[in-house]
Structure formats: structure tokens, C-alpha cells
């Protein structure tokens, strides 16, 4: 016989264990719900953070797109330093003139003093910088009264101003040209420019004095800048880009219009289409090459959109898909590569062959636009292509390059200058910067020396080069 009291104790023990397990299970269920809510919250925060990162990346890309290396792009294989094998060597040429002749004889061995046989001359040419001492000219000019013209002054080619008194000690045209060249063409900061002038040339100048001097130079060169702006409006093709700029605050924009023979910089508080229209004019008749920034839609001229920007957007679109494998995006990438290749062969192909291949690419374009897509990255890129309108193959119809790389290269020195100096402190400084840097860059593109242009403009007797 089984003791009933033993059964009762066993049943009671099992009941208590069941209640304990039920309590544990209830606690675990509560913890599970809490973790699920926490997980959902973290996922939402992660999505918001990713959206913020994407926005920051787009902002940085707009500011310095030409210089930013993206991880998604293939890294080129590291090249060996130096030029390719078989390239002719480069060395310092023999100087065209000799100022001094020096000879060091060898009458005896410099070590033991013994006789030396089979002597032969060894010739070198040593180019050395002389010690520079400023040439100071005390200039006396005269003023008088002309019965017909009123007060008149005599002038001299070395004069850059007629100021007297405290401002009567001035720099000559060559000194002013050197200071302008160092600061604006070579991008050396104000204080370092003053240091170079003092240590290398013996010229004392403060950063504030240099800034005021550059303003005066820019005022004299403003007509040339306006002529350059008119050249931009009359050009058959323009390459435009923009980046952020600082004029006492970071909300300004630097615009650039460039072509093989000129570069125009313009600093403006606006990032919108009216600025582009102001630079090119409302009736611009040439071809405009840009990225896909919406500001350029305002212009009704013929256009071409940069293919390099399309390829960057395509790589970004792959990241939006569950996997990078996308036959649809592969087809787009192949199309754009074929457009680039056909543009390279444009001058070598017969006109009829070129037109046939272009028509085939247009047919592929229409098919890709009409193809239904489901993946988010494919849909994103399709929307971007539809927004191009009729400006997708401009480089195959007009004599322009396939990418906007020319404008991006023109932006590069400005971005470096912005990192060094943080842009400009005043609007007048921005105006001075855009005038001098535009004219310096244009002179370099045309094979001229900006230094020579400055020397013919800076003196009061304009057009008379200073000696």
C-alpha cells in the first residue's frame, strides 16, 4: 500500500515547482517583449543614423566631389614611380649665359702634395640666386594748373599710386606683381607671402597692407574680368561646377565656368539657378556640361550631363539592393561605357558609322527606360535617368567631353585654398579673390605669364611695362 501522505507531499512539491516555472516563464515573456521593443527602437535609430550619414556623404560629395576617393570605386593598381620605360630623360639645360668664370687649378695632389699627371678639365655650371636688395627710387613728380585742363600731374612708369604722406612709401609694379602672384596664383597665405617678400626680397609688408594692395590690383583688373565674363557667354561650350565657400560664414557658393582657354570663378550667396543664368546669360547659345544639380535646369540651352556622375550614382544604387548583383544596373553600366568609348572614337569613325552606332545606343536607352524594375536600387537609378530628359547623350551630338572633369579640376585649387584660408572674410575679399584667381588661371591656360599681365596693368601709366 502506498502511503497517502507521501503522495500528498509529492503532489504539493510538483505544484510548487509548476508555479515557480510559471513565474519564471512569465518573467521571461516580459523580458522578451522588452527586448523586442528595444530592438525595434534600435533599428529605427540605426535607420535614422544611416539616413543622416547618407545626407552628410551627399553634402561632402557636393563640396569636394573631384577629390574624394570612394570605397565602392575600384582602386587603380599602384604604379611604379617615374616615367615609362623608353621616355627621354630630363635634366637641367645648360644656362644661356655665363656671368662669371672661375677656375680651380690642380698644381699638386691636395692630399700628399705630390705631382699630378694626366690632368683634364671638369666643367660645371652653377646657377645661384643673388642676394636681393630692393632698388629704392626717390621719385619727385610735379603738379600744376593747366588753364584748359585744371590740375595736372607728371607721372612715372614705376608709380602705382599718387598717394603722399604716410602712404608715400610704396612698392613698385614688379614687387606688387610678385606679391599678387604668390598669394593668388600660387595660393600662399597672406602672412607667409609677407614673410617670403621680407626674407627673400627685403620688402617689409604687413598682411593688412597686402590685403589692401590686392584690392587695388583687383580694381584695376576688373575690366579684364568683365571681358572674361563676356567671353564665357560667347563660348561654344562651357563646363560648370560649384562648391561651398566661406565669406564670413559657410553658406556661400563658389561657381566655376571653364573651357580650354579660360576659367571664370564667381562667389555668390546663392546655390540656385539664377546664378548660372547670370553667369551664362539668359540667351546662352552654346553647350553646357554639368553634373545633375537641379540649378542648371533653369537654363534652356543645349546640355550634356556628366557620365562619371551617372556611374557614381550607379555604384551607389547597387548598395540599395539586397545584393549587389543586378542585371539591370549591369546593362546601364555597359551602356554608359559604350557611350564613353564611342565619344573617344568620334573623330576616327566615318560619320555614317558613328551615326549608326549612336542610334543603336539610343535604342538601348529607350529599352532600359521602358523595362519594369522591382529592386529599390534599380528604381532609384531609373528615376535619375528619367530626370535627364533629352540631355543624356549630349557628348555624341555636340563637340564636348563625356564628363565634367574639366570643371572639377578647376575647382580643385579652390578647395585647397578654402582648406588653407577658410575662404574670405569679407565680400570685397571674395570679389578680389575671384578676379585675380580667374585672370591668373586663364593666363596660365593661354600660355601667358600672369606676372607680365600684372606689370602692364599695375602702373599708373597703363600699358608701359616697368623695368
Query: Among residues 270, 316, 308, which one has the least CA distance to residue 292?
Result: 308
Report the 10 Å Cβ neighbour count for 438.
25
Higher pLDDT, 62 or 327: 327
Computed over every residue of the chain, the mean pLDDT equals: 88
- Range with top average pLDDT, 37-41, 293-297, 357-361: 357-361
**pLDDT at 259 (0 to 100):** 96
Residue 342 in contact with residue 297, Cβ under 8 Å?
Answer: no
pLDDT for residue 325: 84
pLDDT at 74 exceeding the cut of 60: no
pLDDT over 70, % of the chain: 93
**Tell me: the pLDDT tens digits for 260-275?**
999 999 999 999 999 9
Write the DSSP string, 237-302. EEEEEEEEE-BSSTTEEEEEEEETTEEEEEEES--SHHHHHHHH-TT--SEEEE-S-GGGGG--SE
Q: Which helix (H) or strand (E) holds 47?
A: helix 4-64
- Looking at residue 31, its pLDDT comes to 85
* Mean pLDDT comparison of 40-49, 160-169, 270-279, highest-scoring range: 270-279
pTM for the full predicted model: 0.76
What's the average model confidence in pLDDT over 415-437? Answer: 92
Q: Tens digits of per-residue pLDDT, 86-142?
A: 777 778 889 999 999 999 999 999 999 999 999 999 999 999 988 888 989 898 899
Give me the pLDDT at residue 66, please: 46
* pLDDT value at residue 4: 65
What is residue 323's predicted lDDT score, i.e. its pLDDT? 80
- Provide the pLDDT for residue 71: 47
The band of 58, judged by pLDDT with boundaries at 50, 70 and 90, is low
Q: Which of 18-27, 82-91, 239-248 has the highest mean pLDDT?
A: 239-248
Query: CA 173, CA 463: separation in Å to the nearest integer?
Result: 12
In 10 A of CB 336, how many CB atoms?
A: 17
Question: Residue 461 has what pLDDT?
Answer: 55
Nearest CA among 155, 38, 251 for reference residue 462: 155
Q: What is the dihedral of CA 27, 31, 33, 37, to 10 degrees?
A: 160
pLDDT at 156: 87
Whole-number Å distance between alpha carbons of 145 and 153: 9
Mean pLDDT over residues 273-278, rounded?
92
Amino acid at each position: 500500500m502506498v502511503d497517502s501522505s507521501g503522495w500528498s507531499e509529492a503532489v504539493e512539491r510538483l505544484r510548487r515547482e509548476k508555479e515557480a516555472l510559471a513565474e519564471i516563464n512569465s518573467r521571461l515573456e516580459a523580458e522578451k517583449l522588452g527586448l523586442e521593443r528595444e530592438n525595434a527602437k534600435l533599428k529605427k535609430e540605426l535607420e535614422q543614423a544611416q539616413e543622416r550619414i547618407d545626407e552628410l556623404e551627399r553634402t561632402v560629395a557636393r563640396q569636394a566631389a573631384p577629390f574624394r576617393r570612394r570605397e565602392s570605386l575600384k582602386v587603380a593598381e599602384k604604379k611604379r614611380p617615374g616615367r615609362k620605360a623608353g621616355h627621354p630623360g630630363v635634366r637641367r639645360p645648360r644656362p644661356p649665359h655665363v656671368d662669371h668664370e672661375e677656375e680651380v687649378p690642380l698644381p699638386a695632389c691636395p692630399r700628399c702634395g705630390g705631382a699630378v699627371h694626366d690632368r683634364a678639365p671638369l666643367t660645371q655650371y652653377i646657377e645661384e640666386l643673388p642676394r636681393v636688395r630692393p632698388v629704392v627710387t626717390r621719385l619727385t613728380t610735379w603738379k600744376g594748373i593747366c588753364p584748359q585742363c585744371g590740375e595736372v600731374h607728371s607721372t612715372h612708369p614705376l608709380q602705382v599710386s599718387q598717394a603722399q604722406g604716410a602712404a608715400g612709401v610704396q612698392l613698385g609694379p614688379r614687387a606688387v606683381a610678385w606679391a599678387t602672384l604668390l598669394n593668388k596664383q600660387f595660393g600662399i597665405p597672406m602672412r607667409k607671402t609677407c614673410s617670403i617678400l621680407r626674407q627673400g626680397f627685403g620688402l617689409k609688408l604687413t598682411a593688412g597692407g597686402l590685403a589692401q594692395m590686392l584690392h587695388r590690383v583687383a580694381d584695376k583688373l576688373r575690366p579684364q574680368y568683365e571681358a572674361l565674363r563676356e567671353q564665357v557667354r560667347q563660348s561654344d561650350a562651357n563646363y560648370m561646377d560649384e562648391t561651398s565657400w566661406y565669406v564670413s560664414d559657410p553658406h556661400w557658393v563658389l561657381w566655376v565656368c571653364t573651357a580650354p582657354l579660360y576659367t571664370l570663378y564667381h562667389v555668390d550667396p546663392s546655390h540656385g539657378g539664377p546664378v548660372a543664368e547670370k553667369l551664362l546669360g539668359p540667351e546662352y547659345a552654346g553647350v553646357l556640361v554639368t553634373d545633375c544639380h537641379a540649378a542648371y535646369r533653369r537654363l534652356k540651352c543645349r546640355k550634356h550631363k556628366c557620365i562619371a556622375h551617372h556611374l557614381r550614382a550607379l555604384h551607389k544604387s547597387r548598395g540599395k539592393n539586397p545584393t549587389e548583383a543586378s542585371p539591370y544596373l549591369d546593362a546601364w553600366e555597359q551602356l554608359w561605357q559604350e557611350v564613353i568609348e564611342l565619344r573617344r572614337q568620334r573623330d576616327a569613325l566615318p560619320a555614317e558609322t558613328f551615326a549608326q552606332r549612336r542610334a543603336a545606343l539610343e535604342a538601348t536607352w529607350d529599352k532600359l527606360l521602358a523595362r519594369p524594375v522591382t529592386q529599390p536600387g534599380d528604381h532609384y537609378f531609373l528615376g535619375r535617368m528619367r530626370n535627364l530628359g533629352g540631355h543624356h547623350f549630349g557628348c555624341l551630338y555636340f563637340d564636348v567631353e563625356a564628363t565634367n572633369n574639366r570643371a572639377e579640376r578647376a575647382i580643385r585649387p579652390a578647395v585647397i585654398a578654402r582648406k588653407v584660408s577658410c575662404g574670405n572674410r569679407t565680400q570685397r575679399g571674395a570679389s578680389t579673390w575671384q578676379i585675380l584667381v580667374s585672370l591668373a588661371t586663364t593666363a596660365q591656360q593661354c600660355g601667358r605669364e600672369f606676372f607680365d599681365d600684372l606689370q602692364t596693368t599695375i602702373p599708373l601709366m597703363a600699358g608701359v611695362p616697368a623695368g
